Amino acid sequence: MKRSIQYLFCSMLALCFAVGSGLLPVATYSQGIATGSISVTVTDPSGAAVPGTTVTAKSKATNQEFVGQTNGLGYVELRSVPPGTYTVTITSKSFRTLSLEKTDVLVARDTDLGTVKLELGPVGETIQVESAAPLMETSTSQVTTSFDTKAVADLPLGGGFDALTLFIPGVADSGSNSFSNSNGASFSTNGLRGRSNNFQIDGQSNNDNSVAGPSIFLGNQDALDEVSVITDNFSVEYGRASGSVVNYVTKSGTNDFHGTGFEYFTGSHWDSKDNLDPADQPVPRYVENRFGGAFGGPIKRNKAWFFFSPYFDRIRSAGGTSTSGSALIPTPTGMTQLAAAFPGNAAAVARLYQAKGRPSFNPLIAHVRDIEAAMRIARFDDTAIRLAKAFWPGPLTLVLPKTGDCTVADLATAGLDTIAIRVPAHPLARDILRAFGGPVVAPSANLSGHVSPTIAAHVQSDLEGRIDLIVDGGAVPVGVESTIVGCFEEPTLLRPGGVAREAIERVLGRALVQPPNDADHDTSQPLAPGMLASHYAPRTKVRLNTTHVEAGEALLAFGPERAHGMDEASEVMNLSSRGDLNEAAANLFGYLRALDARNARGIAVMPIPHHGLGEAINDRLRRAAVGRA
C-alpha cells in the first residue's frame, strides 16, 4: 500500500523600522550585538590631534546618519551603528573635507579606520578615499567571525545556519552526548559543553531553555543579512554563556525596492536502493520543495521602510509496496504522540514497546481520522457518540469495546476486550491519518515512565537511536495528554487530561465515576494508558504541595505567591505567574524536564488548584512523585 504525506510550513518575517528625523544622534539606538561601531583618530599633517572634528557616517541604503565629534585626543567612536555600507565624512574648520567611501560595518565588531590625517585647505574641498573593513581587529580583543548574506546563501547548509560555527577555529562538532541536548547543530566552543552557547536573533535571546540550542529556526537565507559568531573575549554587553554567541541578523528595507526568490529541490528520482533492499521493491518516493524569497523597500524614503520574507517547505513522500516494516516515526499529535506503527502489524507494535521500554501489558491509544473510522474498530453507545461529537477532534480518548473485526493487533490493546481510541486535532497528524487510511497506535514519544515530551528536541533526547524519524509539528498547544474516559455501564474518568472533567460532565448531564485505583506497574494491568502508579517522572525526586523550599532544591512555582525560602532555591520556574491553569498545563512537562536537567537535590512543587486543567496537572505531578517523595 502506498502512502503519501504532505505538509507545509510557512514562516514569514516582516520588519519595519521608522524614525522621525533625518539626523539620528548616537543616543537613538541602544548598544547591542545587533549593531557595530566605527572609530577613527583625526590628526593634522604634523600628527597633532584635531579635537572638535565632526565625523558623520551615512548609510548608502537608507541615508541614515550617525554623527559624533572627536575628543581632546582626536578620537571618536560612533556606537550602535546598524550593519551595512556607509560613507564616512570627516569635517573640520581650516581643513579639507575627507570622504571615506564604502566603509563596511559588521555586527559586534568595531570598524577601526585608524589614524586619518587631514590636509590644510578650505572646507568646501573634498578628498574622496575608497575605504574597507580592516583586515585585523585592533580596537578590541573580542574574537568575532561574520558570515555575510552571500556566504549564507552559497554554502550548502540545508537551512541549518548555526552549522556555520563549525567553520571557525576552536569550534567542534560535539555529536550526541550527555552534556548537550541540542536543537540544530551540536557544537562546543573552546572545550565547553553545548549548553554554554548563546543564540540570538537581532540581539534578542533565542535560546531553548529546556535543552541546548536555538528555540526558533530560520530556514530562509534571503531573510538573513549576516550571521555573527563571537567565540572568545566577549565585551561587557554579552552575558548568559561562556561558549559562543551566535546571532542571526535579519535584513531590513532600504530606499530602493529589492526582491529575491529561490527554490531548493530534492527528490528520489535518482536515488539508489540500500544494499539490503529487495530487488523487486521500488525506491520510496520523496520530493521536497523549499521555496520563498524576500521583498523590501521604502514606505517613505529616508524615514520608514518595510521588509517581507516568506518561506515554505513542502514534502511529499511515500512508502514502498508493503506495510510489513516496523519503522517508528513520532507524529505531532500535539507532539506528545510517538509512532506510525501499523496497528495490525504485531512486529511493529512490539518494536514500539521495545523502543520506549514500555511494559507490554500497558495498552496503547489508536488514533483515527474521524468518528466513522473509529466505529470500524470500536462499538459506540449513545454516551460515546455524544462525547465524540462534542470533543473530537481533540484531546479526549474513549475506551470502548472492540468490534469483532477490529484490525488493531491484540498486542496494542494488551489483550483487553476494549480499545482506547481518539481523533487528534493537529493538522499534520490528521494529514498522516488521511494518507494512511487506517488507525495508528501512538503513545507519548519518550522513554516509558519519563516526563512526556512537548517539543521535538525532547523526543530526540529520549529516543535518539531507537526510532527512525521525527516529524516536528511544533510545540504542544495543551501540554498534558488527552483525557481518557471509559464508556462502561457508568462513564468513568480513567485519566484527567486536556479536556476538563467539568466540560465532560456538562455534556453528559451527570458526574463521571471516580477512576479506579492506580495499577501497580509490576503486577496489575491498567485499563488505559497513563494509569501506572509511577509515571511522567523526572529522575530528580519530586516533593508536592510545598510552601517552603529546602536548601539545594529547585522550585516549580505557580501563581504570584512566593514560597518561603524561594530566594535560596537553586532554580525557579513558574508554571504561570498569573495563576492561569491553561498556561501551567502547557509549561508543565517542559519545565519538569528543564529542572530535572539542573541536577538539583530535589524539585519542590507549590500547590496547584484542583479544578479545570488543574486536576490533570495534579494527576501528572502525583505520578511523577511516586517513589521519589
Report pLDDT digits (tens) over 51-108.
999 999 999 989 999 999 999 999 999 988 988 899 999 999 888 889 898 898 888 7
Which domain CATH number covers 100? Answer: 2.60.40.10
User: Is 0.85 surpassed by the pTM of this model?
Assistant: no
So what's the pLDDT on residue 272? 79
Asked whether residue 480 is domain-assigned, the answer is: yes
Q: Are residues 300 and 234 in the same domain?
A: no
Which domain CATH number covers 441? Answer: 3.90.870.10
Domain boundary among the residues 233, 250, 267 is at: 250
Q: Is the pLDDT of residue 331 over 50?
A: no
Q: Is the pLDDT of residue 392 over 90?
A: yes
Q: Is the pLDDT of residue 520 over 80?
A: no
Asked whether residue 152 is domain-assigned, the answer is: yes
Q: Which residue has the higher pLDDT, 318 or 20?
A: 318
**HEC string for 265-329:** EEECCCCCCCCCCCCCCCCCCEEEEEEEEEEEEEEECCCEEEEEEEEEEEEEECCCCCCCCCCCC
Q: Are residues 149 and 122 in the same domain?
A: no
Q: Are residues 88 and 44 in the same domain?
A: yes
Query: What is the number of other CB atoms lying within 10 angstroms of the CB of residue 429?
Result: 25
Which domain CATH number covers 198? Answer: 2.170.130.10
Asked whether residue 324 is domain-assigned, the answer is: no
122-163 tens-digit pLDDT: 756 666 666 555 555 666 677 888 888 888 877 777 657 778
Q: Are residues 243 and 275 in the same domain?
A: no
Q: Are residues 263 and 235 in the same domain?
A: no
What's the mean pLDDT in 450-472? Answer: 81
394-408 tens-digit pLDDT: 999 999 999 988 888
CA–CA separation, 484 vs 496, rounded Å? 7
Q: Are residues 110 and 201 in the same domain?
A: no
Please check whether residue 121 is in contact with residue 102, taking contact to mean a CB–CB distance below 8 angstroms. Answer: no
Q: Are residues 460 and 579 in the same domain?
A: no
Q: Tell me the pLDDT band of 276, cut-offs 50, 70 and 90.
A: low
478-498 tens-digit pLDDT: 778 899 999 988 999 988 988
Domain boundary among the residues 195, 226, 250 is at: 250
Amino acid, res. 76: V
Domains identified in the chain, total number: 5
Q: Are residues 386 and 499 in the same domain?
A: yes
What's the mean pLDDT in 308-318? Answer: 77
Q: Are residues 266 and 244 in the same domain?
A: no
Asked whether residue 38 is domain-assigned, the answer is: yes
**HEC string for 335-352:** CCCCCCECCCCHHHHHHH
Residue 590: partners with Cβ closer than 8 Å, 6 or more residues away: 210, 454, 455, 458, 479
Q: At what angle do helices 456-463 and 581-596 cross, to 10 degrees?
A: 40
Residue reference for cell 486536556: 498
So what's the pLDDT on residue 548? 92
Kindly report the backbone phi and psi dihedral angles of residue 488, in degrees, each rounded to the nearest multiple of 5, phi listed first. -100, -160
The C-alpha cell at 301 is 524614503
Range of the domain at 371: 346-508
Q: Is the peptide bond before 169 cis (omega within 30 degrees of 0)?
A: no
CA–CA separation, 444 vs 482, rounded Å? 11
Asked whether residue 376 is domain-assigned, the answer is: yes
The C-alpha cell at 545 is 504541595
What's the mean pLDDT in 268-272? Answer: 78
Count of residues in the chain? 629
Please check whether residue 215 is in contact with residue 183, taking contact to mean a CB–CB distance below 8 angstroms. Answer: yes
Asked whether residue 20 is domain-assigned, the answer is: no
So what's the pLDDT on residue 123? 58
What's the mean pLDDT in 569-578? Answer: 92
H-run or E-run covering 593: helix 581-596
Q: Are residues 275 and 313 in the same domain?
A: yes
Kindly report the backbone phi and psi dihedral angles of residue 516, in degrees, each rounded to the nearest multiple of 5, phi listed first. -70, 175
What is the share, in percent, of the chain residues with pLDDT greater than 70?
78
Q: What is the mean pLDDT of the chain?
A: 79
CA–CA separation, 197 vs 186, rounded Å? 10
Asked whether residue 513 is domain-assigned, the answer is: no
So what's the pLDDT on residue 207? 81
- Cα dist from 611 to 291, 385, 503, 616, whole Å: 47, 25, 11, 9
Asked whether residue 137 is domain-assigned, the answer is: no
Q: Are residues 355 and 476 in the same domain?
A: yes
Q: Are residues 411 and 498 in the same domain?
A: yes
